[in-house]
Amino acid sequence: MIIISDTFFNLEWEEFFSLKNVQDRVRSWLLSSLEYYQEFGFFPQYSHLSKQGLENRIETIQKEFEQHLKDLRHPHTLDLFTFEELHMFYYEFVEINEQGEGILREVEYIPPCQDLFLLRWDKTRTWSEREVHCICPENKEYVKTIARWSEISRGSFLPQDIEEYWQPQSKSYTVEFNFNGSIHKIEVGYCEEDIDIKGLLNYINGLISTTGYEFVISEGLPNSRLVLVLTLEEEEKLRADKNLYFDCSFLNDYNNH
């Protein structure tokens, strides 16, 4: 999770990877962030590790990640990040002065965006628009999306028999699923690249309104909204502790469903 690029300062890979102060700062942030977010149930696969065990695991991941970056043609590389995100993540930790030198930010001035990059890696708790490919009847992207939202719902949204139907006359999709013994149908407009996230989540949040959980959206990452499930108390704590804000403006009267 040490995010770097070979274009910064025109350095060779070996030179850039040797910028130990950046490496140390990111590693320190990563350790403290993992510890913090595990209190919210994120990254359960690391919950059994001691601090030293977690440090060892991070070192292994770092070496694997560096190898991906050294071979930009690696088929898995673009699944991990885009280069716009690479630069954006780096500049969360480093600012460039007038001489073109990279200066580490003081901890209190590090923006919150890097936390969203981290949370996106936990696919047991988050869903990203990057998971959506071309929306067409053959790809069943709405079925895949509803199924993924069920996976990250913390048990609050467990639909069955998920289907989607293309309506050529109205140029729209109908999403259908069974939830708690009732059939629900949601009509969404057609867009080749974007899922109708807000329309779907508004409806789904109505169905789970008594659970204490709700789906929320973060728009803090470039070209990719992030969806996760939180309680109101968790939202407030993340806002206070991490300056993370989530979009709930799309939520309407749940009683309409």
Q: Find which of 100-114, 139-153, 187-201, 243-257 is predicted with most confidence, using mean pLDDT.
A: 139-153
Cα 253 to Cα 20, 36, 65, 131, 215, distances in angstroms: 52, 33, 45, 29, 15
Per domain, the residue ranges of the chain are 8-111, 126-256
Note the pTM of the prediction, 2 decimals: 0.75
| CB within 8 Å of 14: residues ≥ 6 apart | none
pLDDT at 107 exceeding the cut of 50? no
Report whether pLDDT(57) > 70: yes
DSSP string, the chain: -----TTGGG--HHHHHT-HHHHHHHHHHHHHHHHHHHTTT--GGGTT--HHHHHHHHHHHHHHHHHHHHSTT-TTHHHH--HHHHHHHHHHHEEE-TTS-EEEPPGGG--THHHHHHHHT-TTTEEEGGG----STTT-HHHHHHHHHHHTTTTS---EEEEEEEETTTTEEEEEEEETTEEEEEEEE--SS---HHHHHHHHHHHTTTTT-EEEEE--STT--EEEEE-HHHHHHHHHHH----B-TT---GGG-
Q: What angle do CA 155, 130, 196 make, to 5 degrees?
A: 70
Task: Return the higher-pLDDT residue of 134 and 146.
Answer: 146
The C-alpha atoms of residue 75 and residue 72 are separated, in whole angstroms, by 8
Selected residue with higher pLDDT from 40 and 171? 40
Q: Is 135 exposed, middle or buried (0-12, 13-18, 19+ CB in 10 A)?
A: buried
Backbone dihedral angles phi then psi of residue 76, each to the nearest 5 degrees: -90, -10
d(CA 206, CA 191): 24
| pLDDT tens digits along 202-234 | 999 999 999 999 999 998 887 789 999 999 999
pLDDT digit string (tens) for 137-172?
Answer: 888 999 999 999 999 999 999 999 999 998 887 778
